[in-house]
Amino acid sequence: MPGFELFGEKEKSQVQDVLDSGVLMRYGFDGMRNNHWKALELEAALAKRMESKYAQLVSSGTAALTIALASAGIGAGDEVIMPTFTFVASFESILAIGAIPILVDVDDTLTLDPVAVENAITDKTKVVMPVHMCGSMADLSALKAICDKHDLLLLEDACQAIGGSFEGKPLGSYGDLGCFSFDYVKTITCGEGGALITNNEAYKTNADHYSDHGHDHVGNNRGTETHPFLGYNFRISELNAAVGCAQIERLDNFLDIQQKHYGVIRKELETLSNIEFRRVPNGGVENYSFISFFLPSTAIAKKAHTALDEAGVDACFYWFDNNWHYYKKWEHLIQKKSLGKLPQEVLNQLPDYTKADFSKSDAWIGRTISCLIKLSWTDEQVAERAATMKEVLARFA
Ligand SMILES: *Cc1c(COP(=O)(O)O)cnc(C)c1O
């Protein structure tokens, strides 16, 4: 998956443009910048590739999620439905604006179970936030129907699945808002960075202002611009944006490489009767950044994961025990360990997750192994890896 594997001349040349002008900031300094507007350029390229009207480039994927929520007017006490299997950024972004993360089960797609989502809706629910983990997506058509029925926003976290699609639409563009991360380990990278996409002009305007201290960006004198509402600084630098300008042009090539490598491994593993692959919802096309599969039981999956590691198959993940991606290890959230006092709404409304029953998630995640698809492998390395994986996994019937 990682774009850092293929960092080269194109990225260097884009960064050099910025270094030559010396304008490292995305706003202002019009005269000095030699017409280089890397952040604007990347926003235009991203909006085009993602078939969305607007893109807002910001400092991280977590910032993009926070801004997406803020732009849609979500705030203190509003409930946001999110999956038990994701990255900590999901609840970080929700808590950042004083909203309440409502965790719900995942199913065999490794993403939000639509039935669990519907069951979790209350009169405070405002947003459903599916997270397209490990290169594949939630059942967006089922989730959209639920959101329409209950008048909720659909916010897609597509940070791990950029370039995948659902019913012909790029992931991130199906819902009301979609977010991407361009951190150093994502499919394409800015070093650090993120973006949101939307077709809603008001959300775009809000995101544009909110991510830059509320600046209205009218005229070309930052000092005299007004601030229609409170904001924050989530700006990306031109240096980071420049890296992304080169990387986005390579996205489709990266996806082709991932798909090719994935195909070789999948073909080999499909011959095993003890392995089931994660379900991709009807209408979905993965971005092939991971291959994820289920072993017959949690105990077997644990052993198989260790065996893969011992056989030298690197970059395979057993999420069930993972500190960052599965609710079981989020004791900081569960026990509300914040530095200072949390907003009163959060203290009052956050469910008592020490008592939560996520056995349905456990039943899937406990059996799951996901292996990263790397861009830099040679064909020989992929073939060898596929053969080793098959040989190791065959032992775990
Ligand atoms: C990486 C990631 C994020 C956050 O992105 P950062 O740019 O690292 O802040 C959010 N959600 C998911 C699913 C991610 O994988």
Treating both helix axes as pointing N-terminal to C-terminal, what angle do 89-96 and 61-71 enclose, rounded to 10 degrees? Answer: 40
For residue 280, the SS3 value is coil
Residue pLDDT tens, the chain, 397 long: 677 888 899 999 999 999 999 999 999 999 999 999 999 999 999 999 999 999 999 999 999 999 999 999 999 999 999 999 999 999 999 999 999 999 999 999 999 999 999 999 999 999 999 999 999 999 999 999 999 999 999 999 999 999 999 999 999 999 999 999 999 999 999 999 999 999 999 999 999 999 999 999 999 899 999 999 999 999 999 999 999 999 999 999 999 999 999 999 999 999 999 999 999 999 999 999 999 999 999 999 999 999 999 999 999 999 999 999 999 999 999 999 999 999 999 999 999 999 999 999 999 999 999 999 999 999 999 999 999 999 999 999 8
> Of the residues 85, 87, 190, which should be mutated to test ligand 1's pocket, given the most ligand atoms within 8 Å of the CB?
87
List, in order, residues 6 or more apart from 257 with CB less than 8 Å away. Answer: 375
Give the CATH number of domain 252-393: 3.90.1150.10
Both tokens assigned to 168: 């012909």
Per-residue model confidence (pLDDT) at position 5? 84
Residue 289 Cα, ligand 1 centroid: separation in angstroms? Answer: 14
Residue 136 Cα, ligand 1 centroid: separation in angstroms? Answer: 15
Per-residue model confidence (pLDDT) at position 58? 98
Per-residue model confidence (pLDDT) at position 34? 92
Among protein residues, the one whose CA lies closest to atom 5 of ligand 1: 61
Distance from C-alpha of 164 to C-alpha of 174, rounded to nearest angstrom? 11
Of the residues 38, 126, 144, 186, which is catalytic? 186
List, in order, residues 6 or more apart from 121 with CB less than 8 Å away. Answer: 81, 146, 150, 152
Per-residue model confidence (pLDDT) at position 1? 65
In this structure, are residues 349 and 105 in contact, taking their beta carbons and an 8 Å threshold? no
Distance from C-alpha of 45 to C-alpha of 243, rounded to nearest angstrom? 13
Distance from C-alpha of 252 to C-alpha of 287, rounded to nearest angstrom? 10
Distance from C-alpha of 133 to C-alpha of 391, rounded to nearest angstrom? 27
DSSP string, 184-240: TTSSS--BS-EEEEES-HHHHHHHHHHTBTT----SS-GGG---SS---B-PPPHHH
Residue 281 Cα, ligand 1 centroid: separation in angstroms? Answer: 22
In this structure, are residues 110 and 292 in contact, taking their beta carbons and an 8 Å threshold? yes
Strand partners, 295: none
Among protein residues, the one whose CA lies closest to atom 14 of ligand 1: 159
By CB neighbour count within 10 A (0-12 exposed, 13-18 middle, 19+ buried), where does 21 fall?
A: middle
Residue 60 Cα, ligand 1 centroid: separation in angstroms? Answer: 8
Distance from C-alpha of 173 to C-alpha of 136, rounded to nearest angstrom? 15
Rounded to 5°, the CA angle 132-165-75 comes to 45
Measured from the Cα of 86, ligand 1's closest atom is 13
- Dihedral angle of Cα 84, 163, 149, 93, to the nearest 10 degrees: 50
> Of the residues 181, 243, 247, which should be mutated to test ligand 1's pocket, given the most ligand atoms within 8 Å of the CB?
181
Among protein residues, the one whose CA lies closest to atom 3 of ligand 1: 61
Dihedral class, residue 138 (left if φ above 0, else alpha if ψ from -120 to 50, else beta) = beta
Give the CATH number of domain 3-250: 3.40.640.10
By CB neighbour count within 10 A (0-12 exposed, 13-18 middle, 19+ buried), where does 102 fall?
A: buried
pLDDT one-digit tens code per residue, 289-326: 999 999 999 999 999 999 999 999 999 999 999 999 99
pTM score, whole prediction: 0.97
Q: Hey, where are the domains in the chain?
A: 3-250, 252-393
DSSP state of 378: -
In this structure, are residues 257 and 132 in contact, taking their beta carbons and an 8 Å threshold? no
Per-residue model confidence (pLDDT) at position 187? 95
In this structure, are residues 17 and 242 in contact, taking their beta carbons and an 8 Å threshold? yes
Distance from C-alpha of 364 to C-alpha of 166, rounded to nearest angstrom? 23
> Of the residues 59, 80, 157, 159, which should be mutated to test ligand 1's pocket, given the most ligand atoms within 8 Å of the CB?
159
User: Side by side, which strands form the sheet with 316-317?
Assistant: 276-277, 290-294, 368-372, 316-317
Per-residue model confidence (pLDDT) at position 163? 98
Active site residue 186: yes
In this structure, are residues 214 and 231 in contact, taking their beta carbons and an 8 Å threshold? yes
Would you say the CB of residue 134 lies under 6 angstroms from ligand 1? no
Listed in order, strand segments (DSSP E) in 224-304 are 276-277, 284-285, 290-294
